[in-house]
Amino acid sequence: MSTFTGADQSDVPCRYGGDEFCILLPDADAQSAQSVAERIVASFADIYPDLSLSIGIVQTGPGQHMSLDQMIAIADKKMYQSKALEGSQIII
């Protein structure tokens, strides 16, 4: 994923499906995750101006136990909500 500009060396970009990606940001809060997503959207738009990105973000923290499957399901739902909107969108 050449357009990935993470916030930290601990960030892990992964291909999740045919045209879907998952980025684990273990040290990011919601605002930091949104900043990373905005940088990805901007980089993508520079390379592919006629295409758009739909991004769903889920955050968890200490005391909020969520399995990886639960986090992916929530992020996936938010990503589909952003797909329903026009243009590149980020839903937290």
The phi and psi torsions of 90 (rounded to 5 degrees) equal -125, 125
Residue 72 neighbours by CB under 8 Å, 6+ apart: 16, 22
Beta-bridge partners for 82: none
pLDDT tens-digit readout, 30-89:
898 899 899 999 999 999 999 999 999 998 888 888 898 999 999 999 999 999 999 999
Domain limits, the chain: 12-91
Closest CA to 7 of 31, 71, 69: 31
Residue 7 scores a pLDDT above 80: no
Residue 22 scores a pLDDT above 90: no
